[in-house]
Copies of this chain bind each other. A is one copy, B any other.
Amino acid sequence: MKRRKQIIKYYISLHFATFACMKTEPELFKLKPIASLTMADQVESQLREYIIKRSIRPGDSIPKEMEIAEALGVSRNVVREALSRLRMLGLIESKKKRGMILTQPDVMKGLERILHPTILDMNVRKELFELRLVLEVGLGDLLFLRKTPEQLQQLDAIVEREQRATTQIERIRCEVDFHSTLYEMAGNDTLKRFQTILMPVFEYVVEYESKLEHTSVGSVTHADLVKILYGNNPEAFPNAMRKHLMPHLEHL
Contacts and interface: CB of A to CB of B under 8 A. Distances in A.
Given A84-B81, A107-B124, A121-B104, A242 B235 contact: yes
Interface in A156-211: 186, 188-191, 194
Interface string A106-147: 010111011110111100100110110111111111100100
Interface residues of A, number: 60
Interface string A67-87: 000000000010011101100
A247 interface: no
Contacts of A104: 120-121, 124
Interface stretch (A3-11, A51-59, A213-221, A223-231): A51-59
Interface in A26-58: 40, 44, 48, 51-52, 55, 58
Contacts of A116: 48, 52
A82 B80 CA distance: 11
Contacts of A40: 84
B110 A113 contact: yes
A238 B48 contact: no
A212 B85 CA distance: 40
A209 to B, nearest CB: 16
Given A138-B138, A142-B134, A127 B188 contact: yes
A234 interface: yes
Interface string A84-110: 110011110000000000001101011
A89 B108 CA distance: 13
B114 A111 contact: no
A148 interface: no
Interface of A: 40, 44, 48, 51-52, 55, 58, 77, 80-82, 84-85, 88-91, 104-105, 107, 109-111, 113-116, 118-121, 124, 127-128, 130-131, 133-142, 145, 186, 188-191, 194, 234-235, 238-239, 242, 249, 252
